[in-house]
Structure 1
Amino acid sequence: MTGSPAGSLAAFTVAPPVLRALASTEPSAEGSRLVRDIRRSKRLVLLRAVLDAAPGGRSGEAADHWALLEEAERHDPDAVRDVLHYPATGVWAEEALRRLHAPHGPAADLGHLGALAVAAALRAGIGFKATLKPVGGRLALPTLGLLRPARPGPLALTERSWDPDDPAALPLHALPGGRTALDDLDPYRAPGHARPAPVRAARRLTPKGHKRWDTQWAGALTLLERYDTARAGETGLLLRSVVPLSGGSRSSGATLPAAAGSVLARPQAPPALAATLVHEVQHGKLTALADVLTLHTADAAPRHWAPWRADPRPLEGLLHGAYAHLALAGYWQRAALYGARGAWAQHARTRAQVAAVLPVLHSHPQLTPTGREFTAAMAAAERAMDELPPPGDQHAVARRAVDRARRAWYAEHPELAPHEQG
């Protein structure tokens, strides 16, 4: 869009100090800025691709919606940026582009571009007129919520069409303490074409469900700020929405690349939710970095042991898991130093798991030079934890437990042992 940063991911360079800071998982202003800039650039490239692939290109209905976005941007760039870079917008854009390029199958939901434009115009406070078609009796307005018109058919919209107190409006729920939304409304809050059972988004929550989330979220933020102020700040900067997982979800949390800046999570006690946020934010950071750097050239074959999983993992999955658990080991160490109950055991276990796989990662023949530098910095961050070890022999006990788990896993997967060990 006019006035937006360059839309080419190839233009990004990552200075060695920033790469090492990101590899350590420790929050830094430069690292957070880079992650946000990569996400924004990628989103603009994606949105431009949708506009170019839409029927009529830059002269059809999609172009009219884009023009409204540009007009809103001239009045309030921050509001428009928030709408365009909202996590669910990325899910819609990827799905729309996939359908526009597919020879068969469902048509792309290009009307949602109009919903983006209307949401941006409403937030920018400009006068406008637009007509959109609700889907299933609802019109989603990203970052705002849903409109439920009383009558079916196309809906005429103006700058007075959104009133959070109107019974026809269903506002997006804001979590306490920041800009993060609890998104149980946006139809694109999770990918619709690939929803494995462990990460299925929940339906709209009840007021009781919202209150439960408010309590747990506030408690988790309090713990993060108490134990690890830097990670609390990083979470606020990089996390725009939380999508509740359905009750049957087996996972405590997940991060989907299409929804950059979002975490799917189930309700949890504050200590567990704080750890989930630390873990999932790292996945988002590494995904952004991988958009501009090639860390390895390995395929997706699942052949590696990961102490935190029962199933074999591809190299990409092993790298992501080690990265997220390295951050958890640091978080639990700080929590333990503060006096959090059980934190030393959590730290020792998590650190031992990371230490067990870092040599495999760093010696992998398909790492690029950048990937080798990245994993070396991860290993340095893990070794630095020796400066503040847990009391007694907890670290040694945890290492022995991980080693037993490794031997048991290879006994069940003997066909993978030579590759891992050789």
Structure 2
Amino acid sequence: MSVMGRPHLPLRQFVLKMHSRCDLACDHCYVYEHADQSWRGRPLVVSNEVLRTTAERIAEHAKTHGLDAVHVVLHGGEPLLAGRTRLRGAATALTAALDGVCELDLRIHTNAVTLDERFLDLFAEFGIKVGVSLDGDRAANDLHRRYADGRSSHDRVLKGIALLGRPRYRHLFAGILCTIDLRNDPVAVHDALAELAPPRVDFLLPHATWDEPPQRPADDGDGTAYARWLLAVHDRWTATGRTMDVRVFDSVLRTLRGDSSLTESLGLAPADLAVIETDGTFEQADSLKTAHDGAPATGLDVFAHSLDEVAAHPGIVARQQGLDGLAEQCRACPVVRSCGGGLYAHRYRSDGSGFLNPSVYCSDLLSLITELRDRHMTDQSVRPALAEHHLTELATGRGTAATVDLLARHQLALVRELLGHVWHETAHTPQGEDAWRTLTVLDSEAPESVDRVLAHPYVRTWALRSLGGDAEAAATAVRGVAEIAAAAAARAGRPETVVVPVRDGLLRLPTLGTLTMDAGTEEAVVRTDADGCTVHAGGRTYTMPRTGAKVPAWQGSRRFDLDGWSVTLEDTDPWRDCHGHPAHPRLTESEAEAWRADLTAAWAWIRRELPEYAPGIAAGLRVITPLLPSPENADISSAARDAFGAVAIARPAAPETLALLLVHEFQHVKLGAVLDLVDLHDPACETLFYAPWRADPRPLEGLLQGTYAHLAVVDFWRARWRGGGGRDAEVRFSRWRDQTAQAVETLAKSEALTGDGERFVAGLREALAGDAVSADALRAARRAAEEHRRTVRPPRH
């Protein structure tokens, strides 16, 4: 089935209503307090039959479409009112139905007033992540979230969150959802939430439509009061070191870089969500309840209809049209790819236009996105500093999305500096001058597009080669500037013309791909506009629209969106061959799909078994470069010091091995960025040291890099051991934990660490503590370590 000639997209996210009532009486609740009142006629509690059939429908849909993962949120009303037995039934039914079909990301969203250890033990058994609603401190929260008799819910919510903060349950804490009220002090709200140490906070605009607009102060003449409130939170969040992820800020910055949003209220990603009510009826997103009575209804239910039929419903398909599904005013907006028209429900107007309107928060969104773009993308004069708490956090081997994003922004600042050096220290041609002027204009008017290109890992590789000082380096410099300008113009969709020098018949557009032309072609004229890119070279014209038919000579970058992680498989850029191993030539479609499948499985494993590593990878690992396999089929992987955001890997035999290589190599990427910001050791130290993972002694920085990378190796084998990997996993964990600890002590005794370095190494030592193994595993691990030491020539001191 299709609408407007387009096949419907599969659904991946499901909200399963466990209970249709709530023990609080929040006056801003979209379920009970807005236009749709369908809850009144629904059963209080979902039945076992609905649970079983829903699980079967989701499994059927996932199998039909080959989905790698589905996300299910147990919701309400208040889902804890369904009781532990019914919640166990839901988790059991879903887990059993999806076993062997795809990964299940199971969550629950609760007000937490009745959350206790028995609930959390149940959630720990099934790996159910817990999100909590809380609007700030007591005064802020009690504006809306009270019991029906007016009592405050604040103390009981804090007790529930305190339980989630215990080490035993900390891994279950998904974050806090906070609805904005302009009467609340944004700084006080931020500080109250940050004090609870949530991994993430989701600040939500209160649900409103053009018929029922949001409350605004009398002096809000430009309609940006909500933007100003959020920007005040942003400034406090930044000033205090970004101790938690904030979904709205992360989503804006991701979309400005060309990545996918983390929330349906921003970006152009198609909707892929369905709601199952307690009576088994399918509905669209709950937020539509704010539009009009019956707005979310589909007329479908789990007993009589498949999820393919739900996915083909006109209301859901309408939210899958991307740019084409927006109002004309939105399509012409400069921030549309970040805003995406705002939340679908917030566009509603009952004058006949329905949802084909800008968001009722249009001015707020424009102001917020523009301000964040200007603060993060255009001010490169001051490099972001790495505070002590950032270094402490990174010393654990992990790293939040906010901290890794800080490293990425510094790396971008470095590349911008290098670009300036390249231009000012190399000879120019008239065409090169034109390209530089185009790039300068783009940097002023579409800085996010320029940053997206400059953040490509191999731009820095090109820049360093361009500073070689010889004629070839100068030619490389001019060609690279033109390539960057053309790629940025194409990304911005602006009408520009750039003349790009061509070498060996290859036109390179970093982040986009390469175009192969006749070997004698010396230059290409690249013309860009909103529809795509046209290249004139050697008497031929190549047209590359944004979407549509493929051009045979064009080898585009392959980007995979893997459930919160956008990563490019880079097999075209000629500067990718900097990893010490031969880069794989262009992959066939089947080879690329095999990579997609393995990356999907590896990413699911990381998110499930090493969740502390996932946010950093999602924030900072942008590119994977395939390597040629070794003749011996040994695992090969590498990270280049001057290619932040990329790792190179020869595709291993198993996705779990790929997961290990990803976390291992990304450690090198992170530490390389740290070393660009902080001196951890004396660079004059020439002593070589024994490294338990190498056949040759290593300089101090090499030992530090290897030690840091092996924190991830230790955590990998710890997870494998705890996950039932048996004696082999226990022995490997024991060996790498003990030998990494030995390397830590070597570093500590080197007498070449700075004060920051000593604190960093102390953090490494602390991260390795705990988890006693059996005597048998310990003996086997020590035998392996001794065998390795006998094969290594002694280090020189």
Q: What interval of TM-score do these two structures reach, taking the shorter chain for normalisation?
A: 0.7 to 0.9
- 1:92 alignment partner AA: W
Name 1:130's counterpart in structure 2. Answer: 498
Mapped contact 2:482–2:501 kept (Cα < 8 A): no
Distance 1:72 1:215, change over 3 A: same
Q: Quick one: which amino acid aligns to residue 119 of structure 1? A: A
In the superposition, relative to structure 1, how do residues 205 and 29 fare at CA in structure 2: closer, same or farther (>3 Å)? Answer: closer
- Higher deviation after alignment, 272-281 or 222-231: 222-231
Separation in 2, partners of 1:15, 1:391: 39
TM-score (norm 2): 0.47
Greater fraction of residues in helix: 1
1:279 to 656, 660, 664: 664
| Letter matched to residue 567 of structure 2 | T
2:555 aligned with 1:185 = no
Pair member with larger Rg = 2
Q: How has the CA–CA distance of structure 1 residues 176 and 28 changed in structure 2, closer, same or farther, with 3 Å as cutoff?
A: closer
Distance 1:96 1:74 in 2: 24
Structure 1 residues 155 and 30, CA gap change in structure 2 (3 angstroms): closer
Q: Does 1:139 align with 2:507?
A: yes
- Say if 1:184 and 1:244, in contact at 8 Å, map to a contact too: yes
Counterparts of residues 9-408 of structure 1 (less than 5 Å): 11-56=383-428, 61-97=431-467, 99=468, 101-102=469-470, 107-109=474-476, 110-149=478-517, 152-159=521-528, 160-161=533-534, 162-163=544-545, 165-177=550-562, 178-191=565-578, 196=580, 199-248=581-630, 252-268=636-652, 269-299=654-684, 301=686, 303-340=688-725, 342-383=728-769, 386=770, 388-390=771-773, 393-395=776-778, 397-403=780-786, 405-406=788-789, 408=790
CA RMSD of aligned residues (A): 2.6
Q: Work out whether residues 466 and 473 of structure 2, in 8 Å CA contact, stay in contact via their aligned partners in 1.
A: no
Cα deviations across residues 27-84 of structure 1 (Å, max 9, x unaligned)?
Answer: 224431331122111111111111111224xx95444323322333444433321111
Q: What amino acid is the match of 2:515?
A: L
Cα deviations by residue, 1:290-338 (Å, 9 ceiling, x for unpaired): 1121111154757211111111111111110011001221233234334
Pick closer, same or farther for the CA change 1:290–1:278 going to 2, 3 Å: same
Deviation at 1:265, TM superposition (A): 0.6
Question: Residue 105 and residue 52 in structure 1: after superposition, are their counterparts in 2 closer, same or farther (change >3 A)?
Answer: closer
Does the C-alpha gap of structure 1 residues 135 and 182 become closer, same or farther in structure 2, counting only changes over 3 Å?
same
Pair 1:179–1:213, CA change in 2 (3 A): same
In structure 1, the gaps of 5 or more residues are none
- The answer to whether the Cα contact below 8 Å between 1:302 and 1:312 also exists between their aligned partners in 2 is no
Counterpart secondary structure, 2:613? helix
What is the alpha-carbon distance in structure 1 between the residues aligned to residue 385 and residue 480 of structure 2? Answer: 33
Q: How many residues are matched?
A: 399
Superimposed CA distance per residue, residues 202-224 of structure 1 (whole angstroms, 9 cap, x where no aligned partner): 22222232122122212211211
CA 1:397 to 1:149, structure 2 compared with 1: closer, same or farther past 3 Å?
closer
**Kept after mapping to 2: 8 A contact 1:51/1:63:** no
Greater relative contact order, per chain length (Cα 8 Å cut-off, separation 6+)? 1
Letter paired with 1:157:
V
Gaps of 5+ in 2: 1-373, 535-543
The TM-score, its normalising length taken from structure 1, stands at: 0.86
Distance of aligned partners of 1:369 and 1:21 in 2 relative to their CA distance in 1, 3 Å threshold: same
Q: Which 10-residue stretch deviates more, 178-187 or 74-83?
A: 74-83
Q: Secondary structure at the residue paired with 1:264?
A: strand
Could you tell which deviates more after superposition, 114-123 or 70-79? Answer: 70-79
CA offset digits 1:360-382 (Å, max 9, x no partner): 10111111111111111111111
Greater fraction strand = 2
Q: What CA distance in whole angstroms lies between the structure 1 residues aligned with 2:596 and 2:491? A: 24
Residue 5, structure 1, aligned to residue 361, structure 2: no
Change (3 A) 1:220 1:300: farther
Q: Which moved more, 1:285-294 or 1:73-82?
A: 73-82
Quote the Cα distance in structure 2 between the aligned partners of 1:336 and 1:34. Answer: 33
Residue 54 of structure 1 aligns with an amino acid whose one-letter code is T
Percent identity of equivalent pairs: 29
Q: Distance in 1 between matches of 2:400 and 2:648?
A: 24
Shift in Å, 1:119: 0.7
For residues 275 and 294 of structure 1, do their structure 2 counterparts lie closer, same or farther at Cα, with a shift above 3 Å needed?
same
Helix, strand or coil for the counterpart of 1:291? helix
Q: Which amino acid letter does the alignment assign opposite residue 4 of structure 1? A: T
Q: What SS does the aligned partner of 1:175 have?
A: strand
- 1:155 partner SS: strand
